[in-house]
Structure 1
Amino acid sequence: MIVEERNYLVKAGTAAKYAQLWAEHGREPQVRILGNLLGFYVTEVGELNTLVYLWGYEGPDDRARRRAELAADPDFATFRAEVRDLLVRQSNRILTPALP
């Protein structure tokens, strides 16, 4: 299993709005297509106004297939358009097990 950590820095004061839009419009297509949501968090210490998603995948090929399907989904495209103006920066990391 691999875990993808996706961090979204949003404009100051908009994290709650982003989270609400995600709950209303983004969660359903993401969970339907990506499947394994391990967590959705907001930072309280460190770089504030950051939302963090953790997604689990069987491996790199599973991730690539699911992300491509999500990118083509019209419901998810609607959500992306709703939050685009809130975003400042995005960063992603792929985490692999430290021990077998």
Structure 2
Amino acid sequence: MIIEERCYKIRTHLMGEYLRLVREEGLAIQAPILGNLIGYFVTEIGPLSHVVILWGYSDLNDRAARRATLAANKDWQEFTKKLSQCLETMENRILIPTDFSPMQ
């Protein structure tokens, strides 16, 4: 298993709008395609106005195939036009569990 960590800095005063869009539209498009949502978090201490999303995949090929399917989805393409207005920066990392991690 690999975990994709996506970290978004949300524009000032747009966190509520961002979360509303994801809750009401985004997850319904993403979840059936990407599959394994591990968690969706907002920051409370440290750098504020950040969202961290964790998606699980069996391997990098699984991730690539699922992300390509999502990118080609017309509903997703329209949705990201709305969502991108809330984003200031985006970061992405691939996390690989150690052999002693509870998640493997």
TM-score with structure 2 setting the length? 0.92
Aligned residue pairs: how many? Answer: 100
Number of the residue aligned with 2:94: 94
Partner of 2:49: 49
Q: How does 1:1-100 map to 2 (within 5 A)?
A: 1-99=1-99
| RMSD across aligned positions (CA) | 0.9
Unpaired runs of at least 5, structure 2: none
Deviation of 1:24 after TM superposition, in Å, equals 1.0
Stretches of structure 1 lacking an aligned partner (at least 5 in a row): none
Percent identity between matched residues is 44
Amino acid at match of 1:73: N
Q: Deviations over 1:3-46 (max 9, x none)?
A: 00001101112112101101111101110100000011111111
TM-score, structure 1 length as denominator? 0.95
Q: Distance in 2 between matches of 1:91 and 1:32?
A: 23
TM superposition outliers: structure 1 runs of 4+ over 6 Å: none
